[in-house]
Amino acid sequence: MDREKSKDRKTYFKVIVSALIGAVLGILAYTNNWLG
């Protein structure tokens, strides 16, 4: 059970990191577009 929990946490963490990276890239692209 503990192993499953840690696996779930890793997946959750990966999803959050991916979302954050996507948001940062989106903001950068938007600002770049706005400035350029």
pLDDT at 36: 75
Nearest C-alpha neighbor of 18 from the set 10, 28, 29 = 10
pTM score, whole prediction: 0.65
Residue 5's pLDDT band, with cuts at 50, 70 and 90, is confident
Rounded distance between C-alpha atoms, residue 19 and residue 22, angstroms: 5
| Cα end-to-end span (Å), the chain | 52
Q: In the numeric block, which tokens belong to residue 30?
A: 């938007």
pLDDT tens per residue across span 15-34: 999 999 999 999 999 999 98
Nearest C-alpha neighbor of 15 from the set 29, 7, 2 = 7
